[in-house]
Amino acid sequence: MKGKPSRIRTIKVDTLARLEGEGALYVRVRGDKVQDVQLKIFEPPRFFEAFLRGRDFREAPDITARICGICPIAYLLGASTAMEDACGVKVTEPIRKLRRLIYDGEWIESHVLHMFMLHAPDFLGYEDAIQMAKERPDLVKNALRMKKIGNDIMARLGGREIHPINLRVGGFYKAPAKRELEPLKEELKWGLDAMRDAMKTLSGLSFPNFEQEEDCEYVAMRHPDEYAIIEGRLVSTRGMDAPIREYDDHLTEEHVERSTALRTSVKGRGVCFVGPMARYNLNFNQLSPVAKEAARAARLGPICRNPFKSILIRGVETIFAFEEALRIIEHYEVPDPPAVEVKPRAGTGYGCTEAPRGICYHRYTIDDRGAILDAKIVSPTAVNQKAIEGDLWRFIPKNLGLSKEKLQWRCEQAIRNYDPCISCSAHFLKLELDDA
């Protein structure tokens, strides 16, 4: 432009920190226009879908759980429910309740880790949780104790907190006795109070003034009777409403060279967004009164379009999970037997659950002896890749007045809004500013 210097800014984050997995960010800006945004995922492909072929259908939960150490329940239950669907089996209500209880544990430990150890330092101006702990020790101590409660639920039901070993197609190998769950009650009560209290701190954070577009398509599961976690229909804010078995009719995947993870979009429409904010926007009415009240106190309406406020929504969901876990334990009925019998039959089964980061989809075709012929698994972070880039395309132009360090910080924070599960490493940050 005449009289205006051409100014190219390149933000190159070779390795993104405080994420799960290995990823990088590349952004190029000329003047006040963003020319390119690329979220690169170079976590090596692991070929789970390929090496599941030929394995017995009962092996899928434990094999796929190795995809993630933070949310193994999403894979254990996604695979189990898909196999039960293929074999025409429904589990009993007590087994279903126990499944929700262990999922509550996963939500608690994953959400608390992300809110307080990974995301809060961004807002409070600390390099990491270690620095934050020096000045805000109570915040960190309470977070560690809350996280431990989630871990304890996982360990008591699953045998251990990382990659639990007690879940199977049809239910559990062994159901805990009532007295084994009783000791959790006092801690859950403490956790509920602690999280409600922590919401006061979180709602006082300073959030960038940024909103996603009104036609952004939030996708989650919906269940008629409960805030969906382990089953439901696939719904969206733009009218999608389908059984899980029609997932592939609505959502499609593509490969781009810069990412080893396939990228998901809604057929015929484009970017979709999954995770706590999608669940909240679609199912707010099904939250408990206490969780809704916490949302109101944090000045969240029933719809939130600011992804930076996802930290608040994780807090609301953590309150919900503490409450629900307590309620399930108080009314616990030991499933007897702990698993229903599942006999293989030829067919295709579909499963989907709400992992902490959003819907996690499983589809398997098995033969009449139960051998897996075909598998498809879609993780929530793969779905969110385009939404993350979309946020950056819109966020950066509005913040070009920031110093390069602050802009880079904000870009990384915008990625961490999604708690993406691509991983953790040291970060080497590089911002090139070229003023012609």
Partner 1 sequence: MKRSPLFIGVGNRFRRDDGVGLWLAREIKRRGPRTAEVLETDGEGAGLMEAWKDRGEVFLFDAVRSGAPAGTLHRVEVSKQPLARNFFRGSTHDFGVAEAVELSRSLRGLPGRLLIFGVEGKDFGEGEGLSPPVETAARNLLSELLFRGEKT
Chain positions contacting partner 1, by CB under 8 A: 17-20, 69-70, 113-114, 117-118, 128-131, 133-134, 137, 140-141, 144, 147-148, 151, 161-162, 423-426
Structure tokens at 278: 């999608």
Burial group, residue 427, by CB count within 10 angstroms (0-12, 13-18, 19+): middle
Distance CA 342, CA 379 (A): 26
Minimum distance of partner 1 from residue 166's CB (angstroms)? 17
Beta strands 217-222; 272-273: pairing state = parallel
Burial group, residue 220, by CB count within 10 angstroms (0-12, 13-18, 19+): buried
Choice between 151 and 259, CB closer to partner 1: 151
Q: Detail the DSSP E strand segments found in 255-401.
A: 263-266, 272-273, 347-355, 358-366, 372-378
The torsion of the CA quartet 271, 276, 280, 286, rounded to 10 degrees, works out to 130
Minimum distance of partner 1 from residue 419's CB (angstroms)? 9
Minimum distance of partner 1 from residue 23's CB (angstroms)? 13
Angle of helix 137-158 relative to helix 310-330, nearest 10 degrees, comes to: 50
Minimum distance of partner 1 from residue 184's CB (angstroms)? 16
Choice between 19 and 37, CB closer to partner 1: 19
Choice between 29 and 68, CB closer to partner 1: 68
Choice between 52 and 133, CB closer to partner 1: 133
Minimum distance of partner 1 from residue 37's CB (angstroms)? 24
Are the C-beta atoms of 194 and 186 separated by less than 8 Å? no
**Residue 266 neighbours by CB under 8 Å, 6+ apart:** 217, 219, 236, 238, 240, 250, 251, 252, 272
Choice between 128 and 333, CB closer to partner 1: 128
Choice between 133 and 266, CB closer to partner 1: 133
Minimum distance of partner 1 from residue 421's CB (angstroms)? 9
